[in-house]
Structure 1
Amino acid sequence: MKRRRIDYWRDPHAPHPTSRKASASVFVMNGDGKLLLLRRTDNDLWTIPTGGVKKGETVADAGVRECREETGIEIAITGLVGVFSTPDHVIAYIHDDEVDEVRQPINVCLRAQVLGGTLQPAPKESREVRWVEPSELDSYDIQPAIRRRIDHGLTHTEPYIE
């Protein structure tokens, strides 16, 4: 059975975290002003490219790698959207109906520009990938912690730090 993910946001009944781990996400807009989104396979929600920082790589390297792996798009990091570490967001990872881990993430969200590549989903990580008009975001099922990153990226140039 595949691994599932349940995101909790400001939920008093959420399980208690068992770990903290750094992750990188990337806020990528194309020349037409559209935002890069993908639909996750583990929870069916829409998100920006995001993933854990592996040993031996920088946060920027992780963001570039995750974007390429999840969407087929090659990027260059250009700045920082913010550092998001609120205890309001908890993620439970479930394998074979057993909770493997409950993570309170520390996410570094980076701004990036498109260098090239071909938009394509990665079957293990993304069901769909697409460029989305910011005015259409409300029609996408996006977890609130991810939507905070997106909204800050759209409305602010200075980094958000929590």
Structure 2
Amino acid sequence: MARTEYYDDPDAPEPNSLVVAASAVVADGQGRILLQRRRDNGLWALPGGGMDMAESLPGAAVREVKEETGLDVEITGLVGTYTDPKHVIAYTDGEVRRQFNVCFTARVTGGRLAISDESAELRFVAREDLEALPMHHTQRLRLRHFLDGRAEPYLG
């Protein structure tokens, strides 16, 4: 299923769902950040997705990283909360969501990189190479907040 992301677009469709989601910034020992190129829109993004009813948000982040990348992680901190009502995601099945995302930091504890049905490509990316990748600006915002080394999480 394909998706289109809108931001502050008067022509964006009206949301018909609100989804609670978690994502994770997973950095390796060299400070490179794990990113996936999504199959549904071709853009690079942090691993993440919707929370299931029977799990916590940190648990959702751990599960999504495993499902999308093959890596086992543990949560180590919080980058921030991302709830901008101007960000709308439309899917080809008719769902138009507004997403409430909590972005965590995490470290690898096991597993091995493996492409999933959601990821077309996986890569640990050096800080200086991030700008060259096609990415929605809401993902860049999370990365910037992580890379800034903020003392407090972003609340937005």
CA distance in 2, matches of 1:20, 1:150: 23
SS in 2 for 1:135: helix
Distance 2:137 2:12 in 1: 15
SS in 1 for 2:95: strand
**2:103 is the alignment partner of 1:103:** no
Distance 1:154 1:33 in 2: 10
**What is the aligned partner in structure 1 of residue 87 from structure 2?**
89
Return the letter of the residue paired with 1:43: N
**Partner residue of 1:132?**
125
Which amino acid is the alignment partner of residue 11 of structure 1?
D
Q: Post-superposition shift, 1:73?
A: 1.1
Distance 2:51 2:32 in 1: 26
Question: Unpaired segments of 5 or more residues in structure 1?
Answer: none
The one-character-per-residue Cα deviations of 1:65-104 (angstroms, maximum 9, x if unpaired) are 0001101111000111000000121000113xxxx21101
Give the CA deviation at 1:18. Answer: 1.0
> 1:61-80 alignment to 2 at 5 Å?
61-80=59-78
Specify the SS of the correspondent of 1:92.
strand
Give the corresponding residue for 1:21: 19
Q: Which residue of 2 aligns with 1:46?
A: 44
Aligned residues: 155
Partner of 1:59: 57
SS at the partner of 2:80?
A: strand
TM-score (structure 2 length as normaliser): 0.96
Name the CA distance, whole Å, in 1 between partners of 2:139 and 2:131: 13
Deviations 1:28-60 (A, max 9, x none): 100011000001011111000010000100001
1:89 and 1:146 mapped to 2: Cα distance? Answer: 11
Structure 2 unmatched runs, 5+: none
Q: CA RMSD in A?
A: 0.9
**Deviation for aligned residue 1:16:** 1.2
Q: Secondary structure at the match of 1:21?
A: strand
Tell me if 1:150 matches 2:143. yes
Q: Secondary structure at the match of 1:148?
A: helix
Identity of aligned residues (%): 45
Deviation (angstroms), 1:21: 1.0
CA distance in 2, matches of 1:157, 1:149: 14
1:81 and 1:157 in contact (8 A); partners too: no
Structure 1 segments (4+ residues) deviating >2 Å = none
